[in-house]
Structure 1
């Protein structure tokens, strides 16, 4: 009876652990800061490399090998093109194009640095973020903002891709 209990306990624990490894977690985290002294908005987006590569390969039909020795020379241009399409800002009711600056790797995350030149007072700030949602409908894009000294956080998803802040 004792052995039967151990086997059932083992199978239960194994089953629970297996369910965690089968389901993948799709998330990105983006920080957006208005830096008046630099007259720009700084954006830092953290995206899992493997998911990002799958989306880029699917969209552009190329293997990118991001942040490896085999990375293709035009990778940054494709990242810029993709992020321009997927991260959009409308400030004071006027759309602004994000500019890709550079990237770096931290563990299995690609950190992308972007900016928007802007020096006026911000009264409205709309954020659109649909990174990876075209391939992963369960993708969650967490956005943290620090604008005019106001810090806010949002969860953007496949069905809710934007949010509007008013100051």
Structure 2
């Protein structure tokens, strides 16, 4: 009976270890891009959710640096790297006109980095075009899910590497 109990403990320990390893190493590469426009605010608000370790790897690879998002020596250097990386790989066009992203900041929640951007948009938003190549050079299986809400109307879509372009009309 004692041998059986020890075997059960070993099996349970192995199962628990496997679950912990699976939970830590996410086997999929996906980001979520939330875009919201309200006529009353006259601003396009963009938030991206990216696994922080994937973002950190991409920033370090792209900028040939050694940044630590969780424990930055200088938060300004992370902000600067995210702003430059996003400007390079995330492009937005509203009503046929290219727009510049204003980087607001980032925060970490569990395993995810939330990055925030704004674009002033004085005219009603009728057409939105997005090119998102973030993380593509690091992960061949990278996907981006887009949720776009314009004055309460929501559209969603997904693209997979190498596809990088989304067009929505409202």
Identify whether the pair has TM-score above 0.5, normalized to the shorter chain. Answer: yes
Question: Following the alignment from structure 1 to structure 2, what is the Cα–Cα distance between the partners of residues 159 and 73?
Answer: 31
User: For 1:156 and 1:85, how far apart are their aligned partners in 2?
Assistant: 18
What's the RMSD between the two structures over aligned residues? 2.3
- Take 2:26 and 2:51, find their aligned partners in 1: how far apart are those partners? 15
Structure 2 length as normaliser, TM-score? 0.81
Question: Is the counterpart of residue 103 in structure 1 residue 106 in structure 2?
Answer: yes
Count of residue pairs brought into register by the alignment = 155
Q: Tell me if structure 2 keeps the 8 A contact 1:130–1:141.
A: no
Distance in 1 between the 2:138 and 2:74 partners?
Answer: 22
TM-score, with structure 1 as normaliser? 0.82
For residues 71 and 153 of structure 1, what CA distance do their matches in structure 2 show? 36
Q: Give the secondary-structure state (helix, strand or coil) at the position aligned to 1:44.
A: strand
Range 120-129 or range 133-142, more displaced: 120-129
Distance (whole Å) between structure 1 residues aligned to residue 45 and residue 137 of structure 2: 25
Match of 2:150 in 1: 147
Q: Cα deviations across residues 18-70 of structure 1 (Å, max 9, x unaligned)? A: 9x948721111110000222211000101111111111111111111113153
The corresponding residue for 1:163 is 166
Number of the residue aligned with 1:116 = 119
Task: Structure 2 unaligned segments of length 5 or more: list them.
Answer: 1-10
1:132 is aligned to: 135
Aligned to 1:30: 33
Report the 3-state secondary structure (helix = DSSP H, G, I; strand = E; otherwise coil) of the residue aligned with 1:54. helix
